[in-house]
Amino acid sequence: MADDANATMFGSSKLVPSSSTRHKFPRDAARTSASYPASTFECFSRLPEELRMMIWDAAMASREPRIVDLCQFRPKHLRENTTCSTFERTLFSYGTLSKPAIVDVSREARRAGQHHYCLEFGAKHSDSKGLSTIEGPPFVWVDWSRDIFLPTPPYYNENALLRDLCHKETRRIALSISMVATFSPTFVEYYPCLSEIIVYEGLFNPYGFHAQYFDPARSTHFELIPLSENLEDELAASVTDSETRRRYLGARQDIMYQNLKRKTMSQGSKREAIQVSFAHLRITEKHSSRTAFTIQAKGDSVT
């Protein structure tokens, strides 16, 4: 089965046994192959399994890190920017990104992909009165060593972050300015593998990032736009709002040189200092066929 799938991806093999051990090629084969390089490798399925697995691993080594978003879930019956009442601290939609391509290529490719990716973030939450619940199996493919985890404020607090990420080999987290400023000075101690923190502010959200819930019926795309070392010049060129520039420049001084420095120093000589960078966060939404969780509320089903 794996061989068939591999052949489908890399081209079907059409090797014809010859009566001679010496292969016969057309007279102009050398000229043809030089003029028209092959676009597929037809013999992939005939390679030794160890070599095929090395090729799969090499393909994954060059992949870009993905942003795994941990978003506030807003039930369909509530209007945008409406408080979710008793659900506001319990309902979260984990991840809007699609599966890595390698897990759908073939069984063999999927086995290779599982060396790097695993299914995480199953949901099981209840409201404060225990009347309604939301749950689902793990469905987000995650690479803890490369992916960037982006919890959204303001309701994704420090305790929720610890619940979902502290026991994992989390290496890269993107946090808002307000989240980093309010976290305890020693929060990084709970993330022994953490190597990078990306500090951002949601500048491009027309509704105001802190007031918006994300509709699970839409596909939400998050993009972190890095800011250069010369933060002041870049903000002057790209951000016209003086208050926004002031917040960023203040965050650079207050967070990078005070809060984060104090937090990383608490680790002593156990590991290297955590790398800190700044970025804009751009959020775009579009309608999607993505399946949402089902909420059972007092006998009614709301999706």
More confident residue, 91 or 104: 104
Q: For the residues 184-203, what does the mean pLDDT come to? A: 76
More confident residue, 42 or 214: 42
- pTM of the predicted structure, to 2 decimals: 0.64
Report the range out of 103-107, 153-157, 232-236, 258-262 with the highest average pLDDT: 103-107
Report the range out of 110-114, 119-123, 129-133, 203-207 with the highest average pLDDT: 110-114
Query: What is residue 19's predicted lDDT score, i.e. its pLDDT?
Result: 41
Please report, for the chain, the start and end positions of each structural domain, with discontinuous segments joined by +.
66-99+117-302
pLDDT in tens, 227-281: 766 655 665 555 556 666 666 666 555 555 544 555 555 555 455 677 778 887 7
The dihedral through the CA atoms of 175, 176, 179, 183 has a sign that is positive
Query: What is residue 42's predicted lDDT score, i.e. its pLDDT?
Result: 74
Q: For the residues 279-302, what does the mean pLDDT come to? A: 46
Q: For the residues 115-144, what does the mean pLDDT come to? A: 73
Largest CA distance in the chain: 81
CA dist 113 and 53 (Å) reads 10
More confident residue, 48 or 258: 48
Q: What's the whole-number average pLDDT of the chain?
A: 63
SS3 content of the chain, % helix, strand, coil (to 5): 35, 25, 45
Q: What percent of the chain has pLDDT above 70?
A: 40
CA dist 62 and 293 (Å) reads 33
Query: What is residue 109's predicted lDDT score, i.e. its pLDDT?
Result: 85
Query: What is residue 294's predicted lDDT score, i.e. its pLDDT?
Result: 29
Report the range out of 15-24, 64-73, 101-110, 214-223 with the highest average pLDDT: 101-110
Query: What is residue 296's predicted lDDT score, i.e. its pLDDT?
Result: 29
298, 131 contact by CB (below 8 A): yes
DSSP state of 278: E
φ/ψ (deg, to 5) at 143: -115, 105
Across 7-16, 150-159, 165-174, 252-261, least confident range? 7-16
**How many residues are given for the chain?**
303
Q: What percent of the chain has pLDDT above 90?
A: 0
Amino acid identity, position 249:
L
